[in-house]
Amino acid sequence: MLELRKDIFADERDDNLNEIGKPTQRQDMLGHVTGRTRYYDDHAFEGMLHLKVVRSPHHHARIRSIDTSAADRLPGVRRIIQAADIPVNLNTLLSLIEFGEDDEPTLAEDKVRYIGEPVVAVVADTEVIAMAAVAAVRVDYEVLPHVLDVEEALKPGAVSVNPVYTKNHFVFHDSYDRQKMRFGDVEAGFAQADHVLEARYQMSPIEHAPVEPMGCIAAPETNDRIVVHTSTQALFFSLGTAAKILDMPSNRLHFIGGTVGGGFGGKVDSLTEPLAILACKLTGKPVRYGFNRQEEMQAGPPRGAEVHYIKDGVMNDGRIVARQIRSYFDAGAYTRLSSYAIIKCTGHLPGPYTIPNVKTDVFCVYTNRTPATAMRGFGVTGVDFSLECHMDKMAQLVGMDAIEFRIFNAYRDGDMKAHRREAKNTALVECCQVAAQKAGWPIRDEFQQMSSLHGGGGERAAIPYTRMDQEGIIAGMSAAQAPPSTPIQAPATMAPAIAATVAAPPPAPVVPPVPTVAQPPVATQLPLAATAPQAPQSSQQPPVVAGAPAVPPLSPPAMGQQAAPPSIPTSPSPSMQPASPYTSPAPQTEGSEGSSRPSASPRPGTVRHGSRLAGTRRR
């Protein structure tokens, strides 16, 4: 049941709301219960043709030849479409916002790179004939070795999957084999930590399995336009994509959609519209291209597989002092939106916790699996699962209650996040408190009284000395030497947005907005500004990140250099929470950073680990 906790943040909110907190009927509900809601397939067109595609039965194969003659001869087959018929066959979804190289064919040209990849499209009078025609197309394949695992794919000598990113990884910001983030000094953090815990987590691909499989109907409209009823979740994104692939002005396309039979992120890839529109243009007839269930499960994009290595350093009192993350996202054979998922993932790291030393490397890897796409919690779900599993293990390691451990390390308002944005409206402390209460999970009073509004900022707002490193830089790579790409053919409506940025190498990290996500992520790549790690003065300047608060240069914080941890106040003042074992009994003053303070007394019953867990735990 929905419950508004008006006691929390009461003074930050206007409670004279007309809608929030009250049930409001969905606008489309009457249509749903009367069966009158019209999804893409609920439109009748006289003389509608059906499009089906021949799909790759192999993970990876060279196409030696394609023989469509038998299919051509079948009565009722109207048209067969191959790669050469498609005006701009190679595309990448995010090219609409200038992110990444065109790397994916609409119909396979020389190779297939995953099971289910479209090779030939047939258009016929009925679905039955179209299926028979698909079965009649002969494709001669030379089966090639394949790779299905992200870590295998990055090994030297691995099979090269993607036609553009031949080293099996996406190239970030024209220069990097990964999306990286550096904050403070993790090695120093590990050296100082009482315990170090490392673990590997992995997630298999997840199919959205919407009850309505994706599809569209494209039909001739008046004035040389084509109307497209589609299941897309991203109407204008799909329109732009179709216009680009078909090299036609977008104002000749009339997309109707938004009524989706379940999407969950899986219906943004615009997989059916370009072919259906092309078939409509070529035949002059309405054309339906709908996935069946088998196609939805096999060729429809899933949430991709992920592997995360997390290494944390934690003090006996429960403070996390260093976190290092190395992650691999399985994009499948082509980029689609995975590059962006990784930016979003990095924007989310190191989780909602204030950690003074953070190092993250996230790779977008190509394998011979079905290309991955967005899904609820895009870029975040897998790593969150991993981080929270790790949090539980760490709480156990230091003998703390799992929820108290989270409250203790949670962002407070005013803290500096690892990607150099100030934490605002954090509220994790309160979420944990309410969750514990609801679950009947007792937490101690001092944790119940903590607040995300207090105890943040100050020391915790500092950007630590951060050493620049060269990891991940692709030698000799620059925008000019980037892999060859098809020139971007901007559809008319896209022109203003795209034209400005084509020629020059991007001056700042690209921040790709994507239609499914309202907020663009924070750019997290450290710029390769002239950094001299040996020159403290210049390297202490906070990296130039758009929107980062201006912080005066600090002397390197104690964290990485001295035995004693900096004081990270977890409560506004000792007087408010005198019982907290995690708060220094001495009054906190401006100058107290780095000063030694009594170590926290362990909780009763706590098992102490005398030595650090240096070993790596792997599954």
Give the footprint of ligand FES on this chain (CB under 6 A). 211, 262
Q: Which is nearer to another protein, 33 or 439 (CB)?
A: 33
Q: Which is nearer to ligand FES, 211 or 503 (CB)?
A: 211
Region 166-225 residues binding another protein, contact defined as CB under 8 A: 208-213
Q: Which does 34 bind (CB under 5 to 8 A by kind): another protein, ligand FES, none?
A: another protein
- The correct pick among 5, 6, 21, 31 for binding another protein (CB under 8 A) is 31
Q: Is 41 in the site for another protein (CB under 8 A)?
A: yes
- The phi-psi region of residue 211 (left if phi > 0; otherwise alpha if psi is between -120 and 50; otherwise beta) is alpha
Q: Is 543 in the site for another protein (CB under 8 A)?
A: no
Beta strand pairing call for 138-143 and 90-91: unpaired
Are 77 and 123 in contact by the 8 Å Cβ rule? The answer is yes
- The correct pick among 4, 17, 20, 128 for binding another protein (CB under 8 A) is 128
Q: Is 617 in the site for another protein (CB under 8 A)?
A: no
CB of 268 to ligand FES, least distance (A): 17
- The correct pick among 4, 6, 42, 617 for binding another protein (CB under 8 A) is 42
Question: What is the rounded CA–CA span in Å between residue 287 and residue 49?
Answer: 5
DSSP-derived letter for residue 36 is -
Return the ∠ at Cα 223 (arms to 217 and 226), rounded to 5°: 15
Q: Which does 209 bind (CB under 5 to 8 A by kind): another protein, ligand FES, none?
A: another protein
Q: Is 260 in the site for another protein (CB under 8 A)?
A: yes
Q: Is 385 in the site for another protein (CB under 8 A)?
A: no
Q: Give how far Cα 132 sits from Cα of 73, 271, 294, 295, Å.
A: 11, 22, 16, 16
Question: What is the rounded CA–CA span in Å between residue 395 and residue 402?
Answer: 5
Q: Is 564 in the site for another protein (CB under 8 A)?
A: no
Are 273 and 216 in contact by the 8 Å Cβ rule? The answer is yes
Question: What is the rounded CA–CA span in Å between residue 397 and residue 495?
Answer: 56
Question: What is the rounded CA–CA span in Å between residue 194 and residue 211?
Answer: 50
Q: Which does 513 bind (CB under 5 to 8 A by kind): ligand FES, another protein, none?
A: none
Q: Is 472 in the site for another protein (CB under 8 A)?
A: no
Q: Between 70 and 99, how does the x/- string for binding to another protein read (CB under 8 A)?
A: ----x-------------------------
Q: Between 264 and 303, how does the x/- string for binding to another protein read (CB under 8 A)?
A: x-------------------------x-xxx---------
Q: Which does 135 bind (CB under 5 to 8 A by kind): ligand FES, another protein, none?
A: another protein
Torsion, CA 550, CA 479, CA 103, CA 216, rounded to 10: 50
Return the ∠ at Cα 87 (arms to 83 and 93), rounded to 5°: 85
Smallest Cα–Cα separation from 409: which of 462, 356, 345? 356
Q: Which residues bind another protein (CB under 8 A)?
A: 23, 25-26, 28-39, 41-42, 44, 74, 126-129, 131-132, 134-135, 208-213, 260-264, 290, 292-294
